[in-house]
Amino acid sequence: MTIEERLSSEFGLRADYSKNIIDLIDEGNTIPFIARYRKEMHGSCDDQVLRNFADRLKYLRNLNDEKEKVQKVITEQGKWTDELAKALEEAMTLTEVEDIYRPYKPKRKTRASVAIAKGLEPLADILQAQSKNYKVMEEAEKFITEEVPTALDAIAGAKDIIAERISDSAELRKELRDIIANKGFVTCALLENENNLTYETYADFKQEVRNLPSHRILAINRGEKEKCLKVEVVVDEKLTIPVIEKHFKKDNEDTNALIDETIADAYERLLFPSLERECRNNLTDMADEQAIKMFEVNLRPLLLEAPLKNNTILGFDPAYRTGCKIAVIDKNGAVLDTTVVYPTPPQSKTEESIEKLKNLIEKHKVDIISIGNGTASKESEIFVAELIKHINRPVSYAVVSEAGASVYSASKLGAEEFPDFDVSLRSAVSIARRLQDPLAELIKIDVKSIGVGQYQHDMPQNRLTEVLTGVVEDCVNSVGVDLNTASPSLLSYVSGLNMSIAKNIVKFRTENNGFKCREELLKVSKLGPKAYEQCAGFLRVVGGENVLDNTAVHPESYDAARKLLASFNLTEEDVKNNNLVLLPKMVEQKGEKKVADECGVGVPTLADITNELLKPGRDIRESMPKPVLRSDVIHMEDLKEGMIFSGVVRNVVDFGVFVDIGVHQDGLVHISQLSDAFVKHPSDVVKVGDVVDVKVTSVDIAKKRIALTMKGIEKDA
């Protein structure tokens, strides 16, 4: 089966679609471009499917490369056979290829290699054959030499050789691997360590390998790394030893004892330790991928949270001793003012701070206060709620995650953007902008620092970065970017661009008083025809010469868009004036296929063009839930069992979701409390940013834990 055929089967795609996707990737097209502008070539797969396809394509190509390397090495050894060719052809994973290669792989010095060097391999062959009426000691005496002084030494060497052969058996390893995966257990025991109280849950712990959830695997791994846990994989030898005997024992009285000893040695010294490592590595790989998947699932809605456009926002970065840093930004994100106030302990200058911020808010006509959720956040929230009572204009506040704000503030990018601000003032600006335009601000931060997952520092960092960068790219390109206002950071995530070209775009627009049309991109240094093809459709020119430049219609489809308008006696002026409300109905009445043929495009592209013409400059985030704005504060001590709140989902993990109900400490809705129906995974029910109704089931103030439920609320409300 070819790679194309295998991908078609795995992804349920037509063969020509798989071939087209592979060709498009090999030609250097980006995933966002393929997903948006080549729908006819792949059946309208979305960007996530295409990224999974690209990952799988990379794996299968690596698999083929490994097969070729293995075949070459074994052939050079003169040991290539038809059986090996068949086994290698049927190998579906890199692990299976490694099993086939194992007996032929150059090894470091082992007990078996030492025995082979002493000339004991023929004796091992005889012993492994287990012939009837075979006199072991008599045959072993024939191999006595200066290096092998006794028959027992010869037999011991032969057993070492056979033990390694047992361990190297690809078929046997596969069978035992399956037994461990399906019948094995992971066990844990607490070690003497001052931090082991964190892992009390795993004292005398035992769970089936196949049922071990990813978050528990990662917790166990961390406990082991911190030397708090002793972790083992165990499996009943009554299940494993008979499998080895089936392959290597012939039930001969003359050799049974020696073969039993050899099998036991092979299993205990070579096979099981190797398979245990494999099992632990496989569990970790699975858990890592699941955790990375959760980052991906959580990051997307966070980046696509609805922006609070056309608002003047005051960013409030809470602190104790050093004071709370304040930054006011205008409706375009430009900094209007900054200051520092000291309403929190130890200074507690509440009245002075109220007066100072009251004047600032009235001076700049602030609409919303954005409070970071870090240190001193609760005290700051209480202060802001009191502050609002002293202001004569409508002002509300929201608490936003400040994860990564300090990383951005201390970064080279933060220093370049605000060279005259100290680190903490940059954080205040970032906190304000996160509410005004989450996507534009969050992309400035290392995606691993955004804090919407679990065990991010334990993940394989290159893989985590690769996946999360892909999410950012998909989000940026699905929203679109204003060519005349976007920062270099935002532009660098646009399909076909990088930071170098992004800076050149900003330089060009500065020198030329902005872009008048998309076509001017071709005048930007280092931005050639291929990059233009990839990026043009995702960049918007607001109020430019061509209204189509403010849509997601690609320049290559401008003629098709004009033909579509002309076929119904419409013009680009109608697009500007939003006079196309009846266009979809007109297309439907005439027939989508007929109209698409007349315009020279496929039906999916026609549908995209039609939707874009209806509302040029649309922001898909406008349909997302808006941030929850508050004007008063709730204390954790005020919570009582049965209280119902509207809260915002802050994080989704394997075992439940964390919801902000406005008391500084997020509450946990366990997976069992998400719905009356069975929930396979929390992400099937909610996503980050969702506004949900929850009921308090318990409050533990000492441990700062709030238990919530989403079940039965309508019935009781």
Residue 563 has pLDDT above 90, yes or no: yes
Cα separations in angstroms, 342 against 345, 380, 421: 8, 10, 19
Nearby residues of 501 by Cβ (< 8 Å), 6 or more positions away: 491, 492, 524, 526, 527, 531
The C-alpha atoms of residue 293 and residue 536 are separated, in whole angstroms, by: 30
The strand pair at 667-670 and 324-329 is best described as unpaired
- Numbered ranges of CATH 1.10.10.650 in the chain: 3-77
The C-alpha atoms of residue 240 and residue 251 are separated, in whole angstroms, by: 17
Please, which pLDDT band fits residue 715 given cuts at 50, 70 and 90?
A: very low
What is the reported pLDDT for 375?
Answer: 87
Whole-angstrom Cα Rg for the chain: 33
Q: What is the CATH number of domain 503-623?
A: 1.10.150.310
Residue 451 has pLDDT above 70, yes or no: no
577 by DSSP, 3-state: which? coil
Q: pLDDT tens-digit profile of 615-669?
A: 998 888 887 777 777 777 677 888 999 999 888 898 898 899 999 888 878 899 9
> 419 preceded by cis ω (within 30°)?
no
Question: Which CATH architecture group holds 111-292?
Answer: Orthogonal Bundle (1.10)
Span of 82-96, 372-386, 532-546 with lowest mean pLDDT? 372-386
DSSP tag of 628: P
Residue 480 has pLDDT above 80, yes or no: yes
DSSP secondary structure string, 81-133? Answer: -HHHHHHHHH--SHHHHHHHHGGGS---S-HHHHHHHTT-HHHHHHHHHT-TT
In the predicted model, what is the mean pLDDT of residues 678-707? 91
Q: Is the dihedral of CA 152, 154, 160, 162 positive or negative?
A: negative
636-716 sits in which CATH class? Answer: mainly beta
Q: How far apart are the first and last CA of the chain?
A: 58
Read off the tokens for 448.
Answer: 């691993």
Taking Cα atoms as reference points, which of 555, 567, 556 lies closest to residue 599?
Answer: 567
DSSP secondary structure string, 413-442? Answer: HHHHH-TTS-HHHHHHHHHHHHHH-HHHHH
Residue 134 has pLDDT above 80, yes or no: no
The C-alpha atoms of residue 322 and residue 695 are separated, in whole angstroms, by: 37
- Numbered ranges of CATH 1.10.3500.10 in the chain: 111-292
Q: pLDDT tens-digit profile of 281-290?
A: 999 999 999 9
Read off the tokens for 608.
Answer: 């995209």
Taking Cα atoms as reference points, which of 496, 506, 612, 510 lies closest to residue 561?
Answer: 612
In the predicted model, what is the mean pLDDT of residues 427-442? 92
Q: What is the mean pLDDT of the chain?
A: 93
Cα separations in angstroms, 561 against 417, 473, 570, 604: 39, 26, 11, 13
What is the reported pLDDT for 711?
Answer: 92
- Model-level pTM? 0.83
What percentage of the chain exceeds 70 in pLDDT? 99
Q: What torsion do the CA atoms of 329, 331, 332, 335 make, to the nearest 10 degrees?
A: -10
Q: What is the CATH number of domain 3-77?
A: 1.10.10.650
Nearby residues of 44 by Cβ (< 8 Å), 6 or more positions away: 604
The strand pair at 644-653 and 539-540 is best described as unpaired
What is the reported pLDDT for 449?
Answer: 78
Taking Cα atoms as reference points, which of 301, 402, 288 lies closest to residue 686?
Answer: 301
What is the reported pLDDT for 106?
Answer: 86
The C-alpha atoms of residue 349 and residue 193 are separated, in whole angstroms, by: 44
What is the reported pLDDT for 59?
Answer: 96
The C-alpha atoms of residue 606 and residue 612 are separated, in whole angstroms, by: 10
Span of 25-34, 396-405, 488-497 with lowest mean pLDDT? 396-405
- Numbered ranges of CATH 1.10.150.310 in the chain: 503-623
The C-alpha atoms of residue 461 and residue 557 are separated, in whole angstroms, by: 40
Cα separations in angstroms, 558 against 182, 550, 591: 57, 12, 21
What is the reported pLDDT for 693?
Answer: 92
694 - beta bridge partners?
645
What is the reported pLDDT for 617?
Answer: 87
The C-alpha atoms of residue 709 and residue 717 are separated, in whole angstroms, by: 13
Which amino acid does the sequence have at 520? Answer: E
The C-alpha atoms of residue 636 and residue 699 are separated, in whole angstroms, by: 8
Backbone angles phi, psi at 670, to 5 degrees: -65, 155
Is 368 within 8 Å of 395 (Cβ atoms)?
yes
What is the reported pLDDT for 716?
Answer: 43
Residue 695, number of CB atoms within 10 A of its CB: 21
Is 427 within 8 Å of 409 (Cβ atoms)?
yes
Q: Is the dihedral of CA 267, 273, 278, 284 positive or negative?
A: positive
CB crowding 334-372: b at 16 or more within 10 Å, else e? ebeebbbbbbbeeeeebeebbebbbebbeebebbbbbbb
What percentage of the chain exceeds 90 in pLDDT? 76
Residue 115 has pLDDT above 90, yes or no: yes
Give pairs for 105-109: CB < 8 Å, separation 24+.
105/73
Residue 427 has pLDDT above 50, yes or no: yes
Residue 582 has pLDDT above 90, yes or no: yes
What is the reported pLDDT for 453?
Answer: 67
- Numbered ranges of CATH 2.40.50.140 in the chain: 636-716
What is the reported pLDDT for 450?
Answer: 77
The C-alpha atoms of residue 97 and residue 84 are separated, in whole angstroms, by: 10
Q: pLDDT tens-digit profile of 657-669?
A: 999 888 878 899 9
Cα separations in angstroms, 353 against 372, 512, 635: 17, 44, 22
Please, which pLDDT band fits residue 512 given cuts at 50, 70 and 90?
A: very high
* 3-state DSSP of 191-222: CCCCCHHHHHHHCCEEEEHHHCCHHHHHHHHH
Angle at which helix 170-183 crosses helix 151-168, to 10 degrees, equals 70
The C-alpha atoms of residue 633 and residue 56 are separated, in whole angstroms, by: 49
DSSP secondary structure string, 637-668? Answer: GG--TT-EEEEEEEEEETTEEEEE-SSSSPEE
The C-alpha atoms of residue 39 and residue 177 are separated, in whole angstroms, by: 42
Please, which pLDDT band fits residue 717 given cuts at 50, 70 and 90?
A: very low
Q: Is the dihedral of CA 173, 175, 181, 187 positive or negative?
A: negative
Span of 131-140, 162-171, 210-219, 348-357 with lowest mean pLDDT? 131-140
What is the reported pLDDT for 410?
Answer: 86
Is 450 within 8 Å of 302 (Cβ atoms)?
yes
368 by DSSP, 3-state: which? strand
What is the reported pLDDT for 704?
Answer: 87
Question: Which CATH architecture group holds 313-459?
Answer: 2-Layer Sandwich (3.30)
Is 160 within 8 Å of 118 (Cβ atoms)?
no
The C-alpha atoms of residue 668 and residue 657 are separated, in whole angstroms, by: 6
Please, which pLDDT band fits residue 390 given cuts at 50, 70 and 90?
A: very high
Backbone angles phi, psi at 497, to 5 degrees: -110, 160
Q: pLDDT tens-digit profile of 73-83?
A: 999 999 999 99
Read off the tokens for 360.
Answer: 């600032």
